[in-house]
């Protein structure tokens, strides 16, 4: 079975980002982007954090905390592998964001 990647445009804080995504994950990507946008808007609108990169990091920390809080607390480090994957994706997204801001 071949996964075909589509380029999906998502809008976060009034900026469009093009993201490669397998067809079957497009809806989840859009929902994730909408959730991230909502979180980042909340942080920006609080006026306590300035700068898109700092807002993104704060949103990532908040979302990571939500993820850890939602996992089963029976293990010593709940969801460690999932968090590592999410952190890796966040690192890539921040790198891509910096590249877009430079270009």
pTM: 0.65
The pLDDT value given to residue 77: 55
Report domain 5-102's class: alpha beta
Q: Are 43 and 51 in contact (CB under 8 A)?
A: no
The pLDDT value given to residue 72: 59
**HSE of 80 in the Cβ direction (CA atoms, 13 Å)?**
4
Q: pLDDT (tens digit, 9 = 90+) per residue, 15-71?
A: 999 999 999 999 999 999 999 999 999 999 998 888 999 999 999 999 988 888 887
Q: What is the mean pLDDT of residues 10-16?
A: 94
Where exactly are the structural domains of the chain? Answer: 5-102
Instruction: Identify the three-state secondary structure at position 6.
Output: strand
What CA–CA distance (Å, rounded) separates 3 from 74? 35
Model confidence at 97, pLDDT cuts 50, 70, 90, reads confident
């Amino acid at each position: 079975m071949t996964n075909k990647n589509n380029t999906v445009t998502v809008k976060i804080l009034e900026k469009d980002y093009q993201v490669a995504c397998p067809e079957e994950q497009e809806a989840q990507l859009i929902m994730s982007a909408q959730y991230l946008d909502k979180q980042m808007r909340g942080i920006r609108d609080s006026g306590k954090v300035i700068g898109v990169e700092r807002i993104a990091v704060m949103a990532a920390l908040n979302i990571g905390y939500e993820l850890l809080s939602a996992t089963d607390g029976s293990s010593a480090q709940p969801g460690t592998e999932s968090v590592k994957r999410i952190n890796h994706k966040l690192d890539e997204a921040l790198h891509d964001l910096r590249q877009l801001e430079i270009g």
